[in-house]
Amino acid sequence: MNNRIAIEKKVLSANDRLAAAIRAKLEEQRILSLNLVSSPGSGKTSLLERTLGALNSTLRIAVIAGDVQTENDANRLVKAGGRLVRPIVTGGACHLDAAMVTRALDQLDFGHIDLLFIENVGNLVCPSSYDLGEDMKVALISTTEGDDKPLKYPAMFRRSSVLVINKTDLVGLSDFDVPRARDNALTINGKLRIFEISCRSGDGLQAWYEWLIEQAAIKKGRPS
Amino acid sequence: MNNRIAIEKKVLSANDRLAAAIRAKLEEQRILSLNLVSSPGSGKTSLLERTLGALNSTLRIAVIAGDVQTENDANRLVKAGGRLVRPIVTGGACHLDAAMVTRALDQLDFGHIDLLFIENVGNLVCPSSYDLGEDMKVALISTTEGDDKPLKYPAMFRRSSVLVINKTDLVGLSDFDVPRARDNALTINGKLRIFEISCRSGDGLQAWYEWLIEQAAIKKGRPS
């Protein structure tokens, strides 16, 4: 098994080099980049649909949408008004890596982007190990999952800067307890910025939009 | 990268040998074994809690409960009446493998088991590649996820024999369409046996229990 670990280390360090190159490019263009990570079905695509709908005239938004199979998410995002959407079909891989993101970015005109979302494969484990050159990881959980997810999958929440708790419209229909979920997440990572939202009802999204505008402005060197 | 693929093949073939040994042991004791796979939060543990509650006096049920961190699920199952529950904490690994299951099985008395559940790590990708010596994989999706999950994560649904659609009490509160989910799943794997259930309301569980009793009897060589 030592051989396997050595190979994994090699893969990760090759990934880190590519991620550093992505980060340098995005830094040069002052593009805010967010890597969205969650279980399948927590609402990454729904959050992006809402965000495109609300901010398309305020920010120039690009999305790289990863999935194991299908371009369903990318198609949804184009329908939602996305002008710069690139799908990545991993064809089996359980996470995006920096090489895939490099290839997708090569098809985008960096001069026309303020904010880049990278929608990772739905998976709470593997994507946590792969730096994609992003500024921050944004983890989503939804109120129809267990509120102990941060404890069960700690690496993902430790490496994220932001936690979005989605589907607050369904609170009360399951045993999910929002304060307990917050506590569990903050136990793993006390620095998490937490948003409580419902992509269905729209509740809480305004704070998310304002935060995105603020962060993009800071990145551009023009604090809002 | 060829080196990486060679190593992965080696790991998988080592896993297959261990899985074959598990299968032979379970076969000898005529124990029905089901490997539960799903996204985090689809309801694997809830389904097991319900099943233990309903069938504990009918079948001798053992559960091996895997998680990346915490023994929360195993503790829940003991509370639900589970007498033979063994946790596996993978400590980072995104799936169970046959070596972990072998170690957990070593702690169980095979002579006292009719039905073995293996609750895998919540992950729709990686667990599909690892045979654990089970009779069947049982995939769960819930109505709060997207109904296109079978298309996006086809390997998991192709390698499963059973699909459980959980949280039917929440139908109508999201865009999830049950007939569309069934169609998508059957497109990937026309042989799937599908159950529609709600662990919360109890709807549909009777058919699941009857199926388990029947399958365990067939395995024992005493068709019910």
User: Does ipTM exceed 0.85?
Assistant: yes
**Chain A contacts of B188, Cβ < 8 Å?**
none
Strands B193-196, A193-196: parallel, antiparallel or unpaired by DSSP?
A: unpaired
Instruction: Look at the block and give the residue holding tokens 């049920």.
Output: B61
The pair of three-digit structure tokens given for residue A187, joined into one six-digit string: 């136990």
Res A136 pLDDT > 80:
yes
- Whether residue B167 lies within 8 A of chain A, CB to CB, comes out as yes
**Smallest CA–CA distance from A9 into chain B, residue:** B4
Radius of gyration of chain A (CA): 17
Please state the length of chain A.
Answer: 224
pLDDT digits (tens, 9 = 90+) for B34-90: 999 999 999 999 999 999 999 999 999 999 999 999 999 999 999 999 999 999 999
Q: What chain B residue is nearest to A69 in terms of C-alpha separation?
A: B152
Q: Model confidence over A44-101: pLDDT tens digits?
A: 999 999 999 999 999 999 999 999 999 999 999 999 999 999 999 999 999 999 999 9
- When the pLDDT of each residue in chain A is averaged and rounded to a whole number, the result is 95
> Which fold would CATH assign to domain B2-220?
Rossmann fold (3.40.50)
- Domain definitions of chain B by residue range: 2-220
B152 HSE (CA, 13 A, CB side) = 27
Determine the residue of chain B that is closest to A166 in CA distance: B144
* Residue A223 pLDDT class (50, 70, 90 cuts): low
The DSSP code sequence of A83-145 is: SEEEEEE-TT-SS--HHHHHHHHTTS-GGG-SEEEEE--S-SSGGGG---S-SEEEEEEETTS
Across the range B193-210, mean pLDDT stands at: 98
Structure tokens at B95: 């799936």
Q: pLDDT by residue (tens digit) across B132-162? A: 999 999 999 999 999 999 999 999 999 999 9
How many C-beta neighbours within 10 Å does residue B220 have? 14
Q: Which of B153, B159, B187 to mutate to test the interface with A (most CBs of A within 10 A)?
A: B153
Q: Which residue among A67, A94, A141 sits closest to B94, beta carbon to beta carbon?
A: A94
CA B23 – CA B30 distance, rounded (Å): 10
CA distance linking residue A153 with residue A156, whole number of Å: 6
CA distance A10 to chain B (A): 9
Q: Which of A72, A122, A152 sits opposite B124 (nearest CB)?
A: A122
Nearest-CB residue to B167 (from A68, A144, A153) = A144
Average pLDDT over all residues of chain B: 95
pLDDT band at residue A132 under the 50/70/90 scheme:
very high
CA of B120 to nearest chain A CA: how many angstroms apart? 13
DSSP code of B143? T
A155: nearest CA partner in chain B: B92
Distances A139 to A49, A109, A123, B135, B140 between C-alpha atoms, Å: 17, 27, 11, 35, 22
Contacts of B200 in chain A (CB under 8 A): 173-174
Judged by DSSP in three states, B40 sits in: coil
